[in-house]
Amino acid sequence: MLIRHGESRWNAAGRWQGQQGPGLSDLGHRQAKVTAAFLASHVRDVSLLVSSDLPRVTETAEPAALALGLPLETDVRLREIDVGWWSGLTTDEVLARAPDDMAAIRAGDDLPRGGAETVGDLRARVTPAVAELAASSDGGTALVFCHGGPVRAVVGDTLGLSVIDERVLAGPGNCSRTVLTYREGRARLACYNETAHLVGV
């Protein structure tokens, strides 16, 4: 089960984050608590709980670890795509500084974001990491707290989409749940971007 982090303060401000940025907003903390309660009451076979090491994700995962009585492990491979110098800027600010790069990306080129990673780089990093975590869960559920980019990258790879075609997938919402099942090392998508547990938050 892949869980995107709750709303961060830079999410709320409309800023690119990548591998930088502060932790959760007040709303993000509420989302994390509601998600933890849902997981504790609805997912009975959790054998592993791991998260990206970035603050907005560890702050989301900590209430779940407490509710489930499990240690929280971190894995740097689960980090969001590195957007380099874009971090902390709004899309309008990126457009003002690098209009050609942004136009090329929007046209379908997989350029390094802010001089750092491409979506292909992200997929090559995170997909085997998630498969490895699933394999180490001893038949139980691995709860993997991460970011929207990694969730979409893993699902895109599972569905056989190219890094360009995966754009047909809506960006996962804050604290959304995406479920993959693995059989003989092959992933299948069971649900994507599920947020019903957050109704009323």
Give me the number of domains the chain comprises: 1
- Provide the whole-model pTM: 0.95
Tens digits of residue pLDDT in 154-201: 999 999 999 999 999 999 999 999 999 998 888 999 999 999 999 999
Question: Looking at the predicted structure, is the pLDDT value of residue 139 above 90?
Answer: no
Q: Is 5 a catalytic residue?
A: yes
Q: Which domain holds residue 126?
A: 2-198
- CATH code of 150's domain: 3.40.50.1240
pLDDT single digits (tens) 15-64: 999 999 999 999 999 999 999 999 999 998 999 999 999 999 999 999 99
Query: Could you say which of 7, 59, 73, 80 is catalytic?
Result: 80
Cα 127 to Cα 73, 152, 156: the distances in Å are 18, 10, 10
Residue 89 has pLDDT above 90, yes or no: yes
